[in-house]
Amino acid sequence: MREAEEELAFARAQMTETELDGFRAGIDDAKKQLRRAFELRQILDDSTPDPPEVVRETLAGLITEGEAARDELARQFEAMNARRDYERDAPGRLLRLSDDLAALNVRLPATARAMEGLSTQAASGWRSVAGNLDEARKRATLAEESIARGKLGATTDRPSAAREARTAQQALAEAAVMLDAVDNLAQQLVEARSGLAMRLAEGERSMLAASQAAAREGRSLPELQEIRSRLEEARRLSAATPPDLLAAYQLARHADASADELVASLQTATIERDRAGVAADLEMDAARAEYARAADYIDARRGSVGSEARTRLAEAERQLDSAQSVRPSDPAKTLEHARLASDLAIEAYSLASDDFDENETWGGMSGGALPGMIILGGLGGMLGGGVFGGMGCRRGGGVGGGGRSLGGMLADWAAALAADDGRDFTGPPV
């Protein structure tokens, strides 16, 4: 900080107070940052012990303030050194600025012709550069005068020569920016003249392609009206007196770009819809396979499968029907229905499998139906051949006659059951 203040005192003998404003403000900012650093240090040096986290936070703040002050002073010293280098090089810089001024003066006639071409257009098209040429000429004159004054004092008053060089340099830079703006706009006008017709045609083709794609999709596109309006306005501006080709060309480009974007979005939507359709078909095929497996399994084991599995299967069939009905118009909804149908069919198969494992009955008969039929068949044969034979039926013999006895027939039936499931039914009848 002391070094910076000494540098400031030395610079006052070479520079004006205005030129030193930045250096002086930088020193003041650095002083404030150092003052805050000392205040933070005082917090640590007081008689009150501080917790470790407070100490760490305070030290971090102290370092931050100190580094900020150091960096600010470094920037100011760098700026001061650059200013001194500029002063030492003032004579050579003034010579180079003379060359820059000559190049600028060479540009002025060509830019004036470019401005004349722009003035044939509607004023709204070149309003952004109105006055640029006159202002550039003023700055060229200012630069010329500053260069002349600087050269006169280059050997006797370097600081003054440097100030004149800086003035000339800034004036030439501003003049070049103004001439560049005119030249750039003139180049845009050349591009508009040569490319407007093609851009309008491209916009029309893109708009037609978007309209046709929308018609195929059965969609209404309000964006097409905006594109059409831009193209119509571009034609109107190009045919006006005076014309505004710059604005017309911009409108045509915007319209063409919007139409191309619209076509691209429609093509993307078509591709996505086609992909969704393929996915929907695959999912429906999978759902049909799951449904067929569950339905075939349940049909072959109707006597064992309960109502819950049948309900799931019926709902799976309903979802499949829904998927089929929306397939042409909504592939995404088709996917949703098909996946649900597949899940329901899988669940139906699982429930039916559990039911069959518990009952193990094939076909449509319940678990007790087959033994009942065996009993009735046996009794029918017994009664027809034995009991009813003794009562005048075609087969002869009564209970004690030529036919089999009831006890014998029951014993035979019990033996058959015992052989079937391991239980012993051959004991004496009750």
What does the alpha-carbon distance between residue 337 and residue 346 come to, in Å, rounded to a whole number?
14
Cβ neighbors of 326 (< 8 A, separation 6 or more) are 333, 334, 337
pLDDT at position 84, please? 72
SS3 27: helix
Asked if 182 contacts 118 with a C-beta cutoff of 8 angstroms, the reply is yes
pLDDT band, residue 363 (cuts 50/70/90): low
CA neighbor of 34 nearest in space, from 69, 71, 86:
69
**What does the DSSP assignment read for 317-374?**
HHHHHHHHHHTTT-HHHHHHHHHHHHHHHHHHHHHHHHHHHHH---TT--TTHHHHHH
Asked if 406 contacts 385 with a C-beta cutoff of 8 angstroms, the reply is no
Neighbours of 125 (CB within 10 A): 25
| 124-146 pLDDT per residue, tens | 999 999 999 999 999 999 999 99
What does the alpha-carbon distance between residue 261 and residue 269 come to, in Å, rounded to a whole number?
12
What does the alpha-carbon distance between residue 148 and residue 101 come to, in Å, rounded to a whole number?
12
pLDDT at position 418, please? 47
Minimum mean pLDDT range among 191-195, 210-214, 239-243: 210-214
pLDDT band, residue 253 (cuts 50/70/90): very high
Minimum mean pLDDT range among 188-197, 271-280, 282-291: 271-280
pLDDT at position 9, please? 64
Virtual torsion, Cα 336, 341, 347, 351, nearest 10 deg: 160
415 phi, psi to nearest 5 deg: -65, -40
Asked if 129 contacts 119 with a C-beta cutoff of 8 angstroms, the reply is no
Work out the percent of the chain whose per-residue pLDDT is above 90: 40
Cβ neighbors of 132 (< 8 A, separation 6 or more) are 115, 178, 179, 181, 182
SS3 178: helix
pLDDT at position 52, please? 78
Average pLDDT over residues 398-408: 45
What does the alpha-carbon distance between residue 347 and residue 356 come to, in Å, rounded to a whole number?
14
Minimum mean pLDDT range among 48-57, 169-178, 318-327, 385-394: 385-394
| 231-250 pLDDT per residue, tens | 999 999 999 999 999 999 99
Cβ neighbors of 228 (< 8 A, separation 6 or more) are 207
Angle subtended at Cα 374 by Cα 372 and Cα 379, rounded to the nearest 5 degrees: 95
pLDDT at position 215, please? 82
Residue 353 half-sphere exposure, CB side, CA atoms within 13 Å? 8
What does the alpha-carbon distance between residue 200 and residue 251 come to, in Å, rounded to a whole number?
9
Neighbours of 426 (CB within 10 A): 16
Average pLDDT, the chain: 79
Residue 400 has pLDDT above 50, yes or no: no
| 29-56 pLDDT per residue, tens | 777 777 777 776 676 676 677 677 777 7
Angle subtended at Cα 315 by Cα 312 and Cα 319, rounded to the nearest 5 degrees: 135
pLDDT band, residue 189 (cuts 50/70/90): very high
**Left (φ > 0), alpha (ψ -120 to 50) or beta: where does 422 sit?**
left
Q: Show the tokens assigned to 95.
A: 């010579």
> Residue ranges per domain, the chain?
2-88, 195-272, 300-359, 369-421
**Residue, of 39 and 313, whose pLDDT is higher:** 313
Asked if 101 contacts 147 with a C-beta cutoff of 8 angstroms, the reply is yes
**Which run of H or E residues covers position 384?**
none
pLDDT at position 386, please? 43
CA neighbor of 164 nearest in space, from 174, 153, 154, 150:
150
pLDDT at position 394, please? 36
SS3 204: helix
| 379-394 pLDDT per residue, tens | 444 444 443 343 333 3
Average pLDDT over residues 330-358: 91
